Structure 1
Amino acid sequence: MAKPSRKTTRKTSAIYKGKRQRMARGRTTIGSVKPMHVAGVMLTASVLLIIYLWRPSPQRRADDLPPPVVTTVANTWRAGPGDIVAFADTMAQRSVHVLSGLGVPEENIAVRRLPEHRSSTMRWELSSDIPADIPLAVSNLWLTRLTNRLGGSVIEGTENLKGTQLSLRVGLDSKHTNLITLRRSQYVKRKNGRIALIIDDCGYQSRGLLQGFCDLPVPITVSIFPGERETRWMAERAIHSGHEVIVHLPMEPIDYPKRDPGQGAIFSHYDYDRIRSVTREAIAAVPGARGVNNHMGSRVTVDRRVIGYVLDEIKSQDLFFIDSVTSPHSVAYNVSLEMGIPSGRNAKFVDLTDDPVRIQEDMRSLSMNARQHGTAIGIAHAKATTLDAIKDAIVALKSEGFEFVTVSQAIR
């Protein structure tokens, strides 16, 4: 995160220099040595060092070489050298999304195209009054992350002495392209936040229970198992009811075979072609699916190679991916971002117990996450106790001003 200066008149570069380490050198007394002897020893040492550094590398067999890496940062769009216009325009658009996600009303965000000038690369100016309860440090953090992800950097950052205004100059290749100015205001009310609720494990339950989730009065995202008795029926019914459908893709857990992910699962020992094929068949089995999230998968989602193969197929079909976060060590969300796939991650499972009171408490916890971060994704499961509990929680949260959205809207 760029660290803005607290002075009003000076601007601090976002480049940081580390401290140099110094080593104390001891002195050793030696007998008198002729200069020619010293020169000879130094020459010999130099020759040996050159031979060591330039020795040929041992030949490696093809079997010893690592497999090709599919999930690399090169797969994501990042501004290259000279992509000034593309970087500036993308930064201007996505900065609005970042601020909106933090709870800034979009009507308060003004974006202005600056006149072209031969001696300046500055292209866009964004200014906004933001709610006083959003720390400038939080806005700084998220905008800096966006800048870095797009391949640019925060070149200058300033904050006034009162801590009420932040200015960032961002750019590419040390050239300024975007000016962002944020002012905290007590007159701007923060949006309470957006909640995206995923209903997992759909497909094998009774139609009556599944219809109950379709009848919820807010948009939800229904995650459906491929190949179950009611897979197709639930997909069609959910879409007809105005909800969103994604594929609940089974993946190998860390404790397999103690826990079995079920039919059509992705296993870590599968090769590239098989993983792509299994993923492709799962997506085809769920009509109208717009994305994918993982069922179990605590072994697969910690392996960049395996989850990368899955994400290659997801990307080829222009779908989004949600990391269910079934392992605290999951890299699936980060890898999907690196590949340029629209992505999100689960913030909380809201029904790890069947206790209705606890489920409503977990929904409240999810809403606090949404209030803090602007948007939060939560996961519930297609169970009768869950349906009853979240009905009451939805009514309460809507009355407080929280907005329920689909996952695709949440990760926009």
Structure 2
Amino acid sequence: MSLLVFGGLAGALGAGIQFSGDPSAAGPRQQLALFEVIDEGKPELKTRLKTDGTDMAMLPQVDTDGYAEVESGDEPSLDVAYAEGAEATGTGGPSDDVMADGEGVGVRINGKLVKPGESYGEVTKIASLDDAPISGMTETLNGVRLPRIAPDGRTPSEVYARPFANPSQKPVVALVVGGLGINATHTKSAIEELPPEVTLSFAPDANRLQYWIDRARAAGHEVLIELPMENYDYGRMKMHPQTLLAGKGADVNVPRLNTLLGRASGYFGVINYQGAKFAEDAAAVRPVLDVLGKRGVALVEDGSLEEASLDKVADQTHVRYAKAASPIDTKLTADDINLELMELETIAKEKGAAMGAGYAFPITIEMAKIWASELGPKGIILAPVSALVGTTPAELVDAERVATGSKAPAPVNPAG
């Protein structure tokens, strides 16, 4: 009954509205929009391709008068700090380090000072080293091509070294990464990813040794050849057939040395591979270093030898010599390698120069790459190892150049 009553009332009300008109017409009406109301016509599309058929004259024009003198290019815009004389509108790094450089007006991009008239690409380009062998720097002995001092007095340790200058006398660090030529992937990574100031050393039995040396020099790296020297304990490892032996004289070790030196051309020096036993035997070491001195080849010690006589014999035989403070990757963790690299910085600030040595493990390459990129703001310069080797033979000694193995510290290669 109730449903019938309410149904009748609703019907009567509807009939009244139908006959009396639309109730919304009885007063003002306002439309509320939840979103912006736009013209429902076809929207104008932005031109993406020349074939879109859009009339280019219809596109809005941008006033470029203020950009007339700005050059386009691929120069990175991150980490930019302005040197003295340039107006800075933002910060990209610690400006105090930049202002203290005293290198003139310019803008510092990613740690490199770009002066007026220079481009970022020009500043950061890698200068390739000359192809080896260089004329006059080799001779053939018993069918083996060996390095020699040229008739005009040039030595392999100078000619094949990467040029370096430190006129501002800043602390210097150097790094050699070795074991190259055995693993092609790691060798390629070291050549292409490490800064050209990092010295690379190659195993004498590397596959395509000259090819890899040529690639390294083309990328700006100076190179060393590794000399296998007798160790105390080889464990299950097999001794290299040309290992320099303790207790043996020139008749055994010099032919072995010549075989190793004749593997390739283009190296400024040699570096020990192992050798704790050999390096302690001064009598065995002397004839080997005699040959290096007479051929103008430098000697680098990797810092792993505790009781070595190499430094003393190098002084006596006038061999250009440098010694690493320590290996950087005896423990293959990022933290341990980083601590060793930080120690090099400390030594460099205290003594003027320091050198480290490592192998081409992926973690070593990665940590060295990061470390090298952060040296600039610290006021430390990355130098090739050749910049730290000792004096030339006695009659050619230059008082401004010293060996890192010397007990008396002095400026490192200030004249370049």
Residue 356 of structure 2 is aligned to residue 375 of structure 1? no
Residue among 264, 271, 289 paired with 1:286: 264
| 4+ runs deviating over 3 angstroms | 256-261
1:275 corresponds to: 253
1:205 aligns with 2:183: yes
* CA spacing shift, 1:236–1:319, aligned 2, 3 Å: same
Give the Å deviation of 1:353. Answer: 1.5
Shift of 1:218: 4.0
Structure 2 letter corresponding to 1:197: L
Please name the residue that 1:356 is paired with. Answer: 334
CA contact (8 A) 1:252 1:260 kept: no
Give the residue type in structure 2 aligned to 1:209. H
Q: Which amino acid aligns with 2:345?
A: S
CA contact (8 A) 1:247 1:289 kept: yes
Query: Which residue of 1 is the match for residue 229 of structure 2?
Result: 251
Query: Counterpart of 1:227?
Result: 205
Tell me, yes or no, if the aligned pair for 1:193 and 1:403 is still in contact at 8 Å.
Answer: yes
Q: Hey, what's the Cα distance between the residues in 2 that align with 1:330 and 1:238? A: 30
The Cα shift of 1:261 comes to: 4.5
Q: Is the 8 A contact 2:180 2:186 kept in 1?
A: no
Conserved? CA contact 1:246–1:291, under 8 Å: yes
1:307 counterpart = 2:285:
yes
Tell whether the 8 Å contact from 2:209 to 2:264 is kept in structure 1 after alignment. Answer: yes
Check the 8 A contact 1:253/1:259 in 2, yes or no: no
- Of 393, 397, 400, the residue aligned with 2:375 is 397
Contact 2:304 2:326 in 1 (8 A): no
2:346 alignment partner, SS class: helix
Paired amino acid for 1:274:
V
Name the residue aligned to 1:240: 218
1:259 Cα shift? Answer: 4.8
1:286 deviates by 2.8
Which structure has the highest strand share of the two?
A: 1
Residues 1:335 and 2:313 are matched in the alignment: yes
The DSSP-based 3-state class of the residue aligned with 2:276 is: coil
The residue that corresponds to 2:275 in the other structure is 297
TM-score, reference length from structure 2: 0.51
Q: Which amino acid aligns with 2:261?
A: I
**Number of residue-to-residue matches in the alignment:** 225
Superposition deviation, residue 263 in structure 1: 3.7
Q: What is the rounded CA distance, in whole Å, between the counterparts of 1:294 and 1:269 in structure 2?
A: 17
**Mapped partners of 2:293, 2:170: distance in 1:** 32
Residue identity over aligned pairs, in percent, reads: 21
The 2-side partners of 1:312 and 1:258 are apart by 32
Output the TM-score relative to the length of structure 1: 0.52
For 1:238 and 1:288, the matched residues in 2 are separated by: 10
Q: What is the DSSP-based 3-state SS (H/G/I as helix, E as strand, rest coil) of the residue aligned with 2:307?
A: coil
CA distance in 2, matches of 1:265, 1:321: 16
CA 1:192–1:361 in structure 2 vs 1: closer, same or farther (change >3 Å)?
Answer: farther
What is the DSSP-based 3-state SS (H/G/I as helix, E as strand, rest coil) of the residue aligned with 1:380? strand
Between structure 1 and structure 2, the one with the greater Rg is 2
Q: Which runs of 5+ in 1 are unaligned?
A: 1-104, 106-189
Shift of 1:257: 5.4
CA distance in 2, matches of 1:391, 1:410: 20
Deviation at 1:258, TM superposition (A): 5.1
> Shift in Å at residue 211 of structure 1?
2.2
